[in-house]
Structure 1
């Protein structure tokens, strides 16, 4: 398929994990793909940026426009997770989570809108099932992802008239390198794998490419009547009630 032939996409956090899978999928379907993250990317054209530095985000968009002359797809994937309860989290850590996970996507969208308006482009935000529920000690992460879901709907409402669509995906447990390393560090790896699989009705955890497939669909013209939606990609985890 070449759904993105002649189009330019920016994927933040595209060097690894879900972001890399998205970048590969969009490139495989014809897009010219740029990634943006703190470090260099040897696979894609890239922009190095610290997402906690608000001044750097306008430069990310301008760098893509300077190189390509257009922007058709913006995927806000970069984020961070810090573990602490509300009581134990410092204000500095709280603000850093919100800055990277919520304010950075807001600013990237803000700076990208004039260019997306020209191309009738699309925005896909990578939220989380923790924007709907919450794991222990993820207060800031859950709050920031819930905020990103709300921002997704607001952008869709405000800019649908400009021909711009905005949706979000909310992944559950996905086998990124980070999660696989976490599993490998468990005392009984096989038992952990069995248990983590059991909480999903499909009986397993997800793959980055499965998230990327949905992102590509939402970014493509065939989803032209879909906007302001949050799609869970969680193997049915959020649909299953615990036993009494």
Structure 2
């Protein structure tokens, strides 16, 4: 929070996957700026009011939205953050694994938006989808993940076009390398984690990797009335990684 800003006083936000990583940072930022924050994910959330939900189940999104309304009576901000990644080339990935990633990363956000729209219409609310730079480019062995994030970016544009006149704004953020616990565990799996960290820092023009709080700051702005003329955009937040050309 900066300067005692309370942009979300009296507002209700649902953050999926808000128990850890980027989602947790977003939930904390919105709470610190006055929102009543409810998170939804598998397992309990010790920090926030929470709904237990397995977003691989297509019935879960509508139930989660209904629960928010039952508890809080309104919904102003929906942050579709929950997702996962499984590494495999297309020819090595089973259809069931592909379908599970589509279900959680793309279908669940669609169903959450579908269920939330009547309530966001009343509040003239905002939707922020957490995409990825892998919806723009791609790392090896990420066929399904890249496809889901590109799809989520496309869904973002479609919702903005169809519902902007109703006062609903939909935007996405596309984070690059963010220092979450999962990212740290991945780095630690290498024989020389320190060398990997130095290498990953070099591909970022700003000279460092991102923090969950970096993403949270952008999400909070997009959800606020300050971004009232911003709709249907995918905001890359990657320290300049995607614009830096590689050297031989």
Under a length normalisation based on structure 1, what TM-score does the superposition of the two structures give? 0.99
CA distance in 1, matches of 2:187, 2:61: 34
Q: 1:233 aligns with which of 225, 229, 237?
A: 237
**Which residue in 2 is equivalent to 1:49?**
53
Q: 2:8 aligns with which of 4, 12, 15?
A: 4
CA distance in 2, matches of 1:20, 1:107: 22
- Is 1:198 the counterpart of 2:202? The answer is yes
**Which residue in 1 is equivalent to 2:122?**
118
Q: 2:219 aligns with which of 205, 215, 234?
A: 215
CA distance in 2, matches of 1:166, 1:227: 6
Q: 2:110 aligns with which of 106, 109, 114?
A: 106
CA distance in 2, matches of 1:14, 1:50: 13
> How many pairs align?
244
**Which residue in 2 is equivalent to 1:151?**
155
CA distance in 2, matches of 1:94, 1:186: 27
- Is 1:81 the counterpart of 2:70? The answer is no
- Is 1:182 the counterpart of 2:195? The answer is no
Q: Which structure 2 residues correspond to residues 12-23 of structure 1 after superposition, within 5 A?
A: 12-23=16-27
Q: Deviation of residue 56 (structure 1)?
A: 1.4
- Is 1:162 the counterpart of 2:166? The answer is yes
- Is 1:134 the counterpart of 2:138? The answer is yes
Deviations 1:202-238 (A, max 9, x none): 1110000000000000000000000000001100000
Q: Deviation of residue 185 (structure 1)?
A: 2.5
CA distance in 1, matches of 2:118, 2:216: 26
CA distance in 2, matches of 1:184, 1:133: 24
Q: Deviation of residue 123 (structure 1)?
A: 0.2
Q: Deviation of residue 59 (structure 1)?
A: 0.6
CA distance in 1, matches of 2:41, 2:222: 23
Q: Deviation of residue 184 (structure 1)?
A: 2.1
Task: Extract unaligned runs of 5+ from structure 1.
Answer: none
CA distance in 2, matches of 1:180, 1:7: 34
- Any idea what SS the aligned residue of 2:104 has? helix
CA distance in 2, matches of 1:182, 1:88: 21
- Is 1:67 the counterpart of 2:71? The answer is yes
Please provide the CA RMSD for this pair: 0.6
Task: Extract unaligned runs of 5+ from structure 2.
Answer: none
CA distance in 2, matches of 1:5, 1:127: 26
